[in-house]
Amino acid sequence: MNVRIKNNVYWVGKVDWELRHFHGSEYSTHRGSTYNSYLIREQKTALVDTVWAPYAKEYVGKLEKTVDLKKIDYIIANHGEVDHSGALPALMHRIPDTPIYCTAAGAKSIKGQYHRDWNFKVVKTGDRLSLGSKELVFIEAPMLHWPDSMFCYLTGDNILFSNDAFGQHYATERLYNDLVDQAELYAESIKYYANILAPFSPLVVKKIEEVLALNLPLDMICTSHGVIWRDDPARIVRQYLEWAKNYRENQITIVYDTMWDATRAMAGAIADGVREADGEVVVKLYNASKTDRNDIITEVFRSKAVLVGSPTVNRGVMSSLAGLLEEIRGLGFKDKKAAAFGTYGWSGESVKMLEDMLKHAGFEVREGGPRVLWNPDGEAIGRCRDFGRQIAADFAP
């Protein structure tokens, strides 16, 4: 399926319904993904990005049914990551001299991955490439989310090709933001932001403000994953600005792991206490070893506070929580509060260790969360409920 999306611009990408993990197994893709590639056929013909390597043969085969490959004048590599550059070796095997326009970091990244010295043309912000009556304008976007990332803008059609920014890992044959399930689209967009772009939030704000200051008319944002934003494309831009500025909702997320249900009982009692004290706050509970890690991270991103519970195991915490907190540390969420709780049988280090991990991950930690010896009895459950009530008051908006 190659589809005309506006005038002489075609979507020539791949919808990957099978994908369930991305970045190795760091990112879950419950709804698959797409690798969007675009063909612009003006007086000159330009190809914007390609697809992931496993689909290279299929991609090139379909592409040559749409255009004589030798008629492609320019390849634009907005980003060197393999999900967009993976079909370059197969394509360049057919058209080895075609220039590849990319940033300086892009040329290094692509050379480093494929060890080929293709005809790279390095561009910088503000450089233009004439396609005839229309031009591509290049805008470097370093660290959104790699050093080489770049946008390009097609004059006349008013299309921003934003690569990873504004994307979602969301397989759909319907292509446009106004044709898909809006709840699914929101869920995949915020998950993508929380798990991939959040570390770069200050740069997101700066880059969006820089692009808005150019006052370019904007009819479409063509991302490299998920839908094309054509219905009110500025909506996702506004949404990104909101997410990038220490985003939080009136939500407290309780994340725990448990060996024999004692820590789970504590989590439930704490949740009861929060709800008793504050009928407005949204409370969500997740067992870290039973819930998708990226989904939990998305909920933490939405939260004003997170409460983390673990029994003490081998003088430490359960591995699901250690891994989760390490990943959250890397994402650099800001302006969020936290506390810890847990059970123990003898040494009992878990609460203090969780507090240290939470501080290391950038949370403002309320220390001294409840510790319970063996299974919580009625008195301990009451203490957990009191702790929940106190948290609700302390962490009130």
Give the footprint of ligand FEO on this chain (CB under 6 A): 79, 81, 83-84, 145-146, 164, 224-225
Nearer to ligand FEO, 140 or 299 (CB): 140
Instruction: For residue 115, indicate whether it is catalytic.
Output: no
Q: Which residues is 306 bridged to in the sheet?
A: 253, 338
The answer for 126, left when phi > 0, alpha when psi is -120 to 50, beta otherwise, is left
Instruction: For residue 10, indicate whether it is catalytic.
Output: no
Instruction: For residue 23, indicate whether it is catalytic.
Output: yes
Distance of alpha carbon 213 from alpha carbon 215, whole angstroms: 5
Instruction: For residue 377, indicate whether it is catalytic.
Output: no
Nearer to ligand FEO, 81 or 188 (CB): 81
Distance from the Cα of residue 64 to its chain's centroid: 32
Please state, as a whole number, how many other Cβ atoms lie within 10 Å of the Cβ of residue 285: 18
Instruction: For residue 30, indicate whether it is catalytic.
Output: no
Instruction: For residue 231, indicate whether it is catalytic.
Output: no
314 Cβ neighbours under 8 A, 6+ residues apart: none
Nearer to ligand FEO, 175 or 262 (CB): 175
Which among 225, 257, 278, 286 is annotated as catalytic? 225
CB 258 within 8 A of CB 373: no
Radius of gyration over alpha carbons of the chain, in Å? Answer: 24
Instruction: For residue 169, indicate whether it is catalytic.
Output: no
Q: Which residue is nearest to ligand FEO (CB)?
A: 81
Nearer to ligand FEO, 52 or 301 (CB): 52
Element holding 102 (H helix, E strand): strand 100-102
Place of tokens 């006052």: 215
9 Cβ neighbours under 8 A, 6+ residues apart: 38, 39, 40, 41, 154, 157, 159, 222
| 182, two tokens | 């809006």
Which among 16, 42, 49, 83 is annotated as catalytic? 83
Nearer to ligand FEO, 136 or 165 (CB): 165
Residues annotated as catalytic (active site), given as ranges: 23, 79, 81, 83, 145, 164, 192, 225
